[in-house]
Structure 1
């Protein structure tokens, strides 16, 4: 990745007087099996490039949106892919190819982090210890391993914990049984605690394009807040502790005054961003916008994916939330039939619009990995759960005031809980948060089974048959075939 190579080159210059010309040509180390491959500070930096490179995998470009926003009440599948339709319909079978693709990409990312965590401590090059760089590298790798496991445990529940690299292909080595959900969360917390403990800095200097690209202490604190909110035995005192640590961070995070600036393509690496993927164009580009944006933007006329649902549009309208609706959704004439919006060609259809530029499959538009508004709303949730309703209202209304919505006033904690959930839906649509929110609030079954979405072809509502087993995905069949120690999630064949 040229961008990450550039900032690591800057670090290398600080550690050595040598030129970066040859270093810029290094490929990310993602699958080295020889200890001889990790001898120098530059080897460590190249290995770290490979870890960051995983954020440009398809899962983080748009499949995370499919398995959160499309899977929920926010978006329809759109497009023409049967496997995405299955996700939309909550009718996912173990043979769905997207499962194995996502599983493989996330574990590949973990394997690359494992290499760094295993090999970097043994490097004897003294340059790696200048400016605490060895410990920073280890902290960055640990954060990213935790981030990927957070995705896995929320998608599949308990998964195999693989914490060291291996060069063997023997089934005795590669076939790892599933750990429990609690064990996975404990490992995530352990990795994040390790990363924070005098390893990750709040910033790497004054360059926002570096600070928002890399794992920082603020990013690790934010992820800890999300972890303690999401784990089965959630701890809202810890959520509040870590959310406050982010909000009060020396990194100086703050909400942007204009919500539109988050997504107009001209204000990335902003003060609200805690971490984002640095798509810079060319080979380091985001292909996702081409799949979602309307013909007037994408320049093509085939049916697009991730169509906003009538229920989501209605939620914006009922709240009078014009600013976030217009920033998130664009209505346009579509040269195809849409079964939920128009049976007539050239009918008015909404498009997912938090990305604004397609650029022929080479967009620089980004998806935030973590941003401050998410953490402020988590703080509101934690305060409410801790019985501090008035303080929770202050946090919630901070988010609402930015988009010119009136302040919420209530003394009822149960009512406020639903208001916070709704605010998260409107604030974070198309940001791969909705399904985790519905699960955390214990409302996925209620919401999906009461959802009325009419298929105009039959004039009948969609039937989701949502029940508890669908809260997590089936283990991919290809992985079940490969690893005899895995057992399938309940309710799946």
Structure 2
């Protein structure tokens, strides 16, 4: 376990209650009511508990790193790189229920949800050192965070146990909770976000490092746009409504003129950012960049993880997209053999480049959870599905113009299907390495077709890699540890 004080959120408040975050596994043991009542009796203590919910973004491997594995490495965007057998499983779409990365994601996300549940439960009871406005804001933030975490769970596993209260019993009948349906999980997410919208402000003042670090109305609208598109029965009218609310928000979100500035480490908490994970470096830094940056930047020479794929590089090159390609990856000769890029030492290999400052395993590079370009493309998607093709193309062209690309041609706008294909490609080029690709492929119902069409060649054998993907590979397996502990859980088909 590792204590961290997230000072960009709420300075020094963790010290008040000695808040310690441990995300190794989902702990369903009840906390005694007396302990809970004593620990959370004032507004200051509630605020510290809320800080603990945000701290879950920094303290567990899923949000630091594994989300890239499950969204970008599992897709056609990146290869595993490195030397980890569990990551190779993800890259090969051959994932075991005993895979440790799968268990880590499940348990750490649920631990974050349990922290959010505590804030939501305790907020109405606290009367000391708190105003009604503060109570509303704390509750709204916790509701947003619970929704955000459940959104990731339902995308990864489909229906999952819905736990919306703190665990207060050791009775197996109460703690062994079965899976809810996928539809019910999405309904809970939308309910939480709609409640959060009523409670959250557009901003918390003039400090961008606060406004981009905490949930706001803009963040809730942005997530609602994505949720309403991703759920099994998409509501594109709702997607359009919430995307427009972000684009026209009083918070004043706007695209940066220079795409590269989004990732250079000098423009964090910028106007395009809606919500981002805050890292300060040192004890409050992120180890993620050290995992993938090239030797010339990272200062070490071991084989790095998350290598851009040939398919992704070809997608940039076919579009003539030098702006986003150069911001997304950097090429360098390496002292190791790469099975896709060079079966000899000193081959030139691309490296993931959107986190650029290694910081000796303690980088201060922030990480976007939500940004405006994503939402503009969600608006384009909604308009297209609502048969407003030219309006949709205009939104895509806003994104293309920033990348110095020509507007979409006639071939892309002849039908809903041709524009759908163009939007999916635009999202790939715009959002590579931002944990979006797998979800996009699933939402567009092309993930099996796409992965089985990839023609990667393993240079060690000269043979084409066969991903042999089927529909049952879309969702991850429920971790075997959880099934062993909770007999009420059922496994996903195919595992």
TM-score by length of 2: 0.94
Choose the corresponding residue for 1:97, options 67, 87, 100. Answer: 100
Q: Structure 2 CA distance, aligned partners of 1:173 and 1:105?
A: 21
What's the CA shift string for 1:280-333, capped at 9, x where partnerless? 111110100000001001111110000000000000000000010000011001
1:28 aligns to 2:30 (yes or no):
no
Any unmatched runs of 5+ in structure 2?
22-29
Match of 2:117 among 108, 114, 119: 114
Q: CA deviation at 1:6?
A: 5.3
What is the match of residue 343 of structure 2? 343
Q: Residue 387 of structure 2 aligns with which residue?
A: 387
1:45 pairs with one of 27, 36, 47: 47
Partner of 1:45: helix, strand, or coil? helix
**Structure 1: distance between partners of 2:256 and 2:158:** 35
Match of 1:299 in 2: 299
- Residue in 2 that maps onto 1:483: 486
- Counterpart position of 1:148: 149
Q: 1:219-258 alignment to 2 at 5 Å?
A: 219-258=219-258
Q: Secondary structure of 2:80's partner?
A: strand
Residue in 1 that maps onto 2:440: 437
Q: What does 1:2-81 correspond to in 2, within 5 Å?
A: 4-5=6-7, 7-9=9-11, 26-28=17-19, 33=32, 34=35, 35-56=37-58, 57-81=60-84
Question: Following superposition of structure 1 onto structure 2, how do residues 204-353 of structure 1 map, counting pairs within 5 Å?
Answer: 204-353=204-353
Secondary structure of 1:8's counterpart equals coil
Measured in 1, the distance between the counterparts of 2:20 and 2:361 equals 26
Answer yes or no: is 1:457 the counterpart of 2:448: no
Unaligned runs of 5+ residues in structure 1 are 10-20
Q: Please state how far the C-alpha of 1:5 moved relative to its aligned partner.
A: 4.2
Does the 8 A contact of 2:144 with 2:193 survive in 1? Answer: yes
Contact 2:16 2:45 in 1 (8 A): no
TM-fit CA distance, 1:411: 2.9
Partner of 1:185: 186
Match of 1:161 in 2: 162
Partner of 1:354: 354
Residues 408-446 of structure 1 show CA distances to partners (whole Å, capped at 9, x for unaligned) of 032322111100000000000000000000000000011
CA separation of 1:416 and 1:164: change in aligned 2, threshold 3 A = same
Distance in 2, matches of 1:387 and 1:25, equals: 55
String of CA shifts for 1:43-72, please: whole Å, max 9, x gaps: 101111110100112101110000000000
Displacement of 1:174 in angstroms is 1.6
CA contact (8 A) 2:13 2:48 kept: no
Cα 1:491–1:231 change in 2 (3 A) is same
Q: Tell me the distance in 2 between the aligned counterparts of 1:22 and 1:214.
A: 15
Q: What SS does structure 1 have at the residue aligned with 2:369?
A: strand
In 2, Cα distance between the equivalents of 1:463 and 1:416?
29
Match of 1:424 among 400, 406, 427: 427
TM-score by length of 1: 0.95
Q: Indicate how the Cα distance of structure 1 residues 106 and 2 shifts in structure 2: closer, same or farther if over 3 A, else same.
A: closer
SS at match of 1:360: helix
Q: Distance in 2 between matches of 1:453 and 1:434?
A: 18
Distance 1:486 1:411, change over 3 A: same
1:82 to 77, 82, 85: 85
Aligned length in residues: 478
How large is the Cα RMSD of the aligned pairs? 1.4
* Per-residue Cα deviation, 1:375-421 (whole angstroms, up to 9, x for no partner): 00000010000000010011000000001000003232211110000
Q: CA deviation at 1:24?
A: 5.3
* Superposed displacement of residue 124, structure 1: 2.2
Q: Which structure 2 residues correspond to residues 393-412 of structure 1 after superposition, within 5 A?
A: 393-409=393-409, 410-412=413-415
Give the drift of 1:22. Answer: 7.6
What does residue 15 of structure 1 align with?
A: none
Cα distance in 1 between the residues matched to 2:112 and 2:398:
36
